[in-house]
Chains A and B, each alone.
Chain A
Amino acid sequence: MQQNLRPKKGIRASILMHVAWRNLVSKKLRTILTVVGVIIGIGAIYFLLSFGLGLQKLVTDEIIGNKSLKLVEVVSPNSEIITLDQEMVGRVSSLVHVDEVSVEYSYPGLLSLNGGEIDVVTYGVDEAYADFVSLNLINGRLLNESDTQRIIINTSTLESIGIENPREAIGQTVALGVPLKSSDPDQKDISADFQIVGVIDSGAGSEAFIPSGIFSAAGVDSYKTLRILADEPENVATLRQEIESIGLETQSPADTLDQVGQIFDFFNVIMISFGSIGMLVAVIGMFNTITVSLLERTREIGLMVALGARRADMRKLFIIETTMISVIGAAIGILIAMLSGFLLNLLMNQLAGQRGVDSSFSIFINPPWLIGSMMLFMVIIGLLVAALPSRRAEKINPIDALRHE
């Protein structure tokens, strides 16, 4: 037995936890009320934050779509002076933080099928384009390097020419005309038949995508837009500065994201402020419980010191007790808040479904960092609450304490 002794180490943390737990259990009602206070306080903050962040994500996703945060879109402020030609592509590609570059032509065109005609925005894109812009493929496939007379159209175009089922469109041949000569006599008009290989869902406007090679063969030497993928999101700002120094204009989904973020930061602060009222009540409850517990147990502390407890152990005992209340309260509070969010989300989806919204959505999110940081926050609050009572416990004079009534 003696060899298992830990000289001058004092009481084990597991035993302090046991003593703290037994004390909490022995005062069931008081402990439950205190824990309920913490549950309400932390649960309210978590619920509101989960809602705020969920809403932010929903809005961000809607705005940004599936665009990568590494994306930089480059256009020329004046295509007469600065041309987005192959030389410019080479120059931009050579910048340090550039991972991949995609080019895009866009011109108005006329698409004909089954005797029907429709104005479409015609994009000339390369294979890399799909890495930059989310092409929500409904049927068929995307364009690849070897494609020549192939076309992808969107569902709006299909609907305009009277085809309901996207599957029916695959394999059909459309005639596409893109007048280019009028803007530059050196260019040739595009007028050819294209076979539909894919149907995408890209929103309300009619759009068609053909290989970029068709435009370059027609003598178009300047692109409308360059899309650049930076190596890392944090290098986007540097990359943009470098590109803008050439005289080009840049845009990034991060711009929108920053604006949305600022609005929601403010929104979340308001949410936390509301939740903090409950938290304040919980903190007062915890402080009261621990202080009363200290007063009630003055004699017990005196006894333990007389029996050989170190004063620091008595401080730890109260810190552990407060931390237990914090952790249990926070865990239950977060669980209840998550469950409430889940149920409310279910209800909202059901209501939205009844009003014709097909896709499901989440207005409450539970990222692990939020759960972790809320737990940590509550533990820190617990430690702050315990600071004063635990210091008092440490300073108790055992002789006076044993005389304490």
Chain B
Amino acid sequence: MSKIEGEKAALTLSNTSQSFSVGDETIDVLKGISFSIKPHTFNIIYGQSGSGKSTLLNILSGLQKPTKGTVHYEGRDIYKLSSNDLAYFRAHRIGIVYQQNYWVKSLNVIENVSMPLYLQGYTKSQAETEGLKALKSINMDSYAKKYPTLLSGGEQQRVAMARAIVNNPSIIIADEPTGNLDSTNGDMIMDLLVRYQTVLNRTVILVTHNMEYLTLADHLLNIKNGVVIDMQGKSITETTEGLIKGIRQRVDHFAINKKRRKHAAKS
């Protein structure tokens, strides 16, 4: 796989807000957030459920136009592009991996992996040649003719990774890709993401709940109640140590609570 214009990749959000109307009520999911993603970096967005992570990823991937603010890619506001140009941006610049596996069920693995190239206008054989290379790169080429829904969760997620890189995107967006996997398969996916960033020079934007992966980040973004706290200033080690300390405190808290209950039950 050849390296393409990954060097140009840079996403910048400026004062971006997103609100949804539910009946008479307006819910502000994102509240005027601003940050920049540097090219070739490994970025992790973390935060609690309902904090607005998925909405943020949808905005970054060109699927959700924000209510306010701008999203710039290579100096252009992507939401000022026409619908077709935005589709072109997604097809050429973005690779997406979801927590849940989505497939065109009537197509086999190689056809699903080749889908981003089909959408770019490649012929079937051209797209599938590239698709097979992507599958080979993750040792999944023997699964090419199988149907994705018949594969295990880990295998499906690896195929999804191949699909995310087949179009040589400058940005790979991964929305909790290890969320449904055991630690072995999860680690395998994370290794692939790290490889894409370090070897292929891609920009990775990862949303995860797994704190153990935070140390992989070059740039951490903590999202809380629709506000992003950019941890750019702090050292990653300092932040992750703080988070791990928090985990230890929770583990201790549960252990102490359990002891107390046992003790109370005996007496």
Contact = CB atoms under 8 A, between A and B. Distances in A.
**What DSSP secondary structure best describes chain A's contact surface?**
helix
Contacts of B130: 1
A313 interface: yes
Contacts of B118: 11-12, 15
B122 A299 contact: no
A22 B106 contact: yes
Contact of A15 (B88, B105, B124): B124
B250 to A, nearest CB: 30
A292 interface: no
Contacts of A7: 88, 121
Interface string B64-103: 1000000000000000000111011111101010100011
A308 interface: yes
Nearest to A308: B91
Interface size class of A (residues with CB under 8 A): 35 or more
B215 interface: no
A303 B84 contact: no
Contacts of B88: 7-8, 308
B144 to A, nearest CB: 15
B103 A303 contact: yes
Interface string A2-20: 0011111111101100110
B120 interface: yes
Contact of A9 (B103, B115, B121): B121
B63 A399 contact: yes
Contacts of B92: 308
Given A10-B119, A22-B106, A300-B105, A306 B64 contact: no
B123 interface: yes
Contacts, number: 98
A26 interface: yes
A398 interface: yes
Interface string A206-245: 0000000000000000000000000000000000000000
Nearest to A401: B102
A157 to B, nearest CB: 75
Contacts of A8: 84-85, 88
A83 B91 CA distance: 86
A307 B106 contact: no
A11 B88 CA distance: 11
Interface string B129-144: 0100000000000000
Interface in A1-47: 1, 4-12, 14-15, 18-19, 22-23, 25-26
Interface string A273-309: 0000000000000000000000000011011111111
Interface string B37-61: 0000000000000000000001001
A402 interface: yes
A312 B84 CA distance: 9
A317 to B, nearest CB: 10
B116 interface: yes
A309 B90 CA distance: 8
14 contacts: A1-B130, A6-B121, A8-B85, A10-B121, A15-B124, A22-B107, A23-B106, A26-B105, A307-B91, A308-B90, A311-B87, A313-B119, A399-B64, A402-B98
Interface of B: 58, 61, 63-64, 83-85, 87-92, 94, 96, 98, 102-107, 111, 115-116, 118-124, 126-127, 130, 163, 167
Given A310-B83, A402-B98, 7 more contacts: A1-B130, A5-B122, A12-B118, A12-B124, A15-B118, A306-B61, A399-B58
